[in-house]
Structure 1
Amino acid sequence: MAVLKKKALAFAALIALAQPVAAQTESSETTMSEFEISANMTATSQYRFRGLMQSNNKPAIQGGFDISHSSGFYVGNWSSSISWLGDADPNVSAPVEMDFYAGYSAPLYGDWTIDTGVLQYYYPGDYPDGFTSPNTTELYLGIGYGPVSFTYSHALTNLFGWADSKNSQYYDLSGQFDTGVWGLMLDAHVGYQRVRNVTDGSYTDWSLGLSKTWDNGITASLAYVDTNAERQVYTNRDGRNMGRAAAVFSLSAPF
């Protein structure tokens, strides 16, 4: 909480400095009220990304924050502990994933919404010579209708360490539906990862689960996650199939 408050105060100070000298206090407060800062922390039984294990079936700690403007523009960061890079190559030391993003989200018409932006996946660490960088930049465009959304992501760089994989794409169809029972939500997802120029690298992933959010903002979720990823392509050096089915439990809290 203290760290978040410091960030909020620093951001407020920058906004105040941007105002004309003759501006009144009321005007500054109105400008600041157009911004919203939110943050969260998550503990999960394991980290799965697009259906693939990122923490070798071990628990992960995650967290992030967003700064959004009433106009619909936003920026943010989300990070997680990982092990998949070291699981693939013992000479790699990269235990953290850091995602930086900026975009625009707004209603279109009726129940239709749009969300578009750019996302940078960053993996700080030590890599051997000749290792293809896993850092990835994607553009995304999402269209939502009520509880359902479809998002298209396009890689501007190589995709997560695959050589010569620029212009790979990911298609994501997701929905969240109120079950009407105990405040439980039904979470459903299916996605398709196309990996350019990688034989048998493309695959489909899907998940189905339940989640519940309490009045204090704490959310618990349990999901079944699976893929049809080719085992020979997505097996780490521990001999584990990164795309095999798993149950994932997560607990998140805002702060």
Structure 2
Amino acid sequence: MRRHFAFIIILLGLSSAHAAENNSPTFKMTGDVSLLSHYVEYGLSQSDKSPALQGSFWFNFGPQFRLGLWGSNTNFEHSDDHFNLRINGDIKIDFSQANNAVIYYSESQYFKAGDRNGNLFGLHLNFSDFKVLYDHMSNWEGTKHSSVRYGLGLDLHVWNSWIWVNEVGYNTPDVTTVDPYFDFKTGLGTKWGPVFVEGSVTGTSASSDLDGQGDFFFILSAKTEF
């Protein structure tokens, strides 16, 4: 974790230097609301095949740094954790108009039992439509053990206003009962007025080790920003 903090400090310095070359930032609030037929994260069900309502609110300290909250209802078998609240912060460093790096940290709290409380840290590199992802979870699926995920993503614009969203990840949970496994998501979406609607399919290569939580799922979602 100390290496993570050192890396953040270095990139904060790069971010400050880059910001000094630009105009003064405009402080503003942003957010979004999403409705999903099923909440799946990194290939694993977080709502036990039930619908989920999610929302996020951000205060932007200029174009590069922001803080905010994110929340979603959850549902897990044999658990009293039914709501996940995350306190988020991220730094965006622009290399060019289409290329950037995003470093994020989330303090994740579950209510009411709190068995899954932990934190998330990650670095996402965005090159136009292509993404390289690194995510670290301190309490993977409530096991009290960490997991690292390495991912690749590709968003393709098809049929004018449609977007084909693809992502694959390699997960390495520090749990003896679960071997490293792949997760994937592919979906097709478009903007319908102010709402982005998407249909997607997710799955993992280790559904038998995850008690059905990593099965193949079809998800419908709608998201609007403000």
Same fold, TM exceeding 0.5?
yes
TM class, shorter-length: 0.7 to 0.9
| Conservation of the 8 A alpha-carbon contact between 2:164 and 2:189 | yes
After the TM superposition, which segments of 4 or more aligned residues of structure 1 sit over 6 Å from their partners?
none
Percent of residue pairs bearing the same amino acid type = 20
Between the aligned partners of 1:71 and 1:249, the Cα distance in structure 2 is 31
Q: Indicate conservation of the 8 Å contact 1:201/1:230, yes or no.
A: no
Q: Distance in 2 between matches of 1:246 and 1:227?
A: 10
Aligned partner of 1:66 in structure 2 is 58
- Contact kept? 1:159, 1:195, Cα under 8 Å: yes
The Cα RMSD (Å) is: 2.0
Find the residue that maps to 2:142 and give its secondary structure.
Answer: coil
1:229 counterpart (206, 209, 220): 206
Which residue of 2 is the match for residue 197 of structure 1?
A: 175
Q: How far apart, CA to CA, are the structure 2 residues paired with 1:192 and 1:98?
A: 25
Q: Which has the higher strand share?
A: 2
The secondary structure found in structure 2 opposite 1:210 is strand
CA contact (8 A) 2:207 2:213 kept: no
Q: Does the CA-based 8 Å contact 2:72-2:84 persist in structure 1?
A: yes
Query: Which has the larger displacement, 105-114 or 137-146?
Result: 105-114
Matched with 1:49 is 41
Distance in 2 separating the partners of 1:60 and 1:98: 13
Q: Which whole-Å CA distance do the structure 2 matches of 1:71 and 1:211 have between them?
A: 27
Determine the structure 2 residue equivalent to 1:162. 143
CA 1:250–1:71: 2 relative to 1, 3 Å: closer
Q: How far apart are residue 109 of structure 1 and its match?
A: 4.0
Matched residue SS, 2:198: strand
Gaps of 5+ in 1: 1-29, 128-132, 236-240
Q: TM-score, normalised by structure 1?
A: 0.74
Secondary structure (helix, strand or coil) at the match of 2:31 reads strand
Tell me the residue number matched to 1:119. Answer: 106
Q: Could you tell me whether the CA contact under 8 Å between 2:36 and 2:221 is conserved in 1?
A: yes
TM-superposition CA deviations, 1:145-178 (whole Å, max 9, x none): 11111121123x3323113x23x21112112111
Matches within 5 A, 1:1-255: 34-84=26-76, 87=77, 89=78, 92-109=79-96, 111-126=98-113, 133-155=115-137, 157-163=138-144, 165-166=145-146, 168-179=147-158, 181-214=159-192, 216-231=193-208, 233-235=209-211, 241-255=212-226
Q: Which residue identity is paired with 2:157?
A: D
Q: Quick check: which has more Rg, 1 or 2? A: 1
In 2, distance between residues paired with 1:136 and 1:119? Answer: 9
Does the 8 A contact of 2:28 with 2:61 survive in 1? yes
Query: One-letter code of the match for 2:195?
Result: I
CA contact (8 A) 1:136 1:160 kept: no
Tell me the number of residue pairs that the alignment of Structure 1 and Structure 2 aligns.
204
Q: Matched residues in 2 for 1:139 and 1:72: separation?
A: 17
Give distance in 2, aligned partners of 1:75 and 1:114.
16
Structure 2 partner of 1:25? none
TM-score (norm 2): 0.83
Q: Provide the residue aligned with 1:6 in structure 2.
A: none
Counterpart secondary structure, 1:160:
helix
Which runs of 5 or more structure 2 residues have no equivalent in the other structure? 1-22
